Amino acid sequence: MLRLGYRALRISQPHLPYGGVHGSHLGKTLALVRGLSSHSTCEIKYPDGKELLTKTASSSNENHVTLEELIDKKNLRKLFLATYQLEIDWLLSKLPRSIPICLARNWDRLSGEQPGISSLHSNFTVVHPPLSENQYGSMHAKLFILYYDEFIRVVVTSANMTSLDWETFENAIFVQDFSRAHSEAVRPCAFGRDLYHFLGALRIPNFIRNTLTGYDFSTAKVTLIPSVPGAHLQNQEEVYGHKKIAQALMKHGLMSNCSDNKMTLEYQVGF
């Protein structure tokens, strides 16, 4: 699920090519990740996945949730976040201090911004994913991965990281928790592979992508349909956008009994 516009985020460090990582920043981040406290009372809340809506002032349904409730600030250990529109001060007010954060965000070539990796400070990595060469490409994904001591929480949403989208507008959310893989015998599954390859398409540093291999995604209840800027070849291994939708429909047998012009497809853009 995905959406639009962003507040400018000022980066004090120069952007580095995707192949190069600034050791003095990312190295410190990794050290922080390894040194985090293991004392936690946080438990898995969404083992089977759940569809929710952002909670506004008029919300009264139990299927509405606030960003604070999803984040569980006191137990959060680290965070990966992808967003199109961003209110950085508002976001940081929702997070614990000093946790490692990796942010992938849309960027503006016309404003002089560059693709690559930079740092706001020692434990805050910012990634500007590659965009199409023409002016129409954008990084529109809205996804976050929340890391706790014994599990991760994957959230796909139509809400940008802004107060307007989380507190005024009603946006869609899918959330599911995945426990640590306590056995090397856990087999890779489509959800985990799709998530891993999507982070790769955004040029997220490998030390962040590789954390996903420590979790069991076999309980995933949905198929991810990533949207990645650019042109994608017919024969390439990874499939995105409308081609991925068609692949998912065929996989689940949802096209076998449909005659021409009879199918109705409902969707929410957010990932």
What structural domains does the chain harbor?
23-251 (3.30.870.10)
CA distance 149 to 41: 9
User: CA-CA distance, 77 to 62, in Å (whole number)?
Assistant: 26
For 59-79, give the DSSP string: --STTEE-HHHHH-GGG--EE
What pLDDT was estimated at residue 216?
A: 95
50-54, strands of its sheet edge to edge? 64-65, 50-54, 172-179, 151-157, 143-147, 78-83, 101-105, 124-128, 116-121
| 39 catalytically annotated | no
- β-bridge mates for residue 116, sequence order: 128
142 annotated ligand binder: yes
**Per-residue pLDDT, 91:** 93
SS3 180: strand
What is the pTM (predicted TM-score) of this model? 0.78
Give the residues across from 117 on adjacent strands.
16, 127
**What is the predicted pLDDT for the residue at 20?**
43
Q: Are 157 and 1 in contact (CB under 8 A)?
A: yes
User: pLDDT at residue 31 above 50?
Assistant: no
Q: How confident is the model at residue 186 (pLDDT cuts 50, 70, 90)?
A: low
Q: Which of 15, 25, 128, 140 is catalytic?
A: 140
What average pLDDT score do residues 105-134 get? 75
pLDDT at 84: 84
Q: Please list the residues that pair with 143 across neighbouring strands.
A: 82, 156
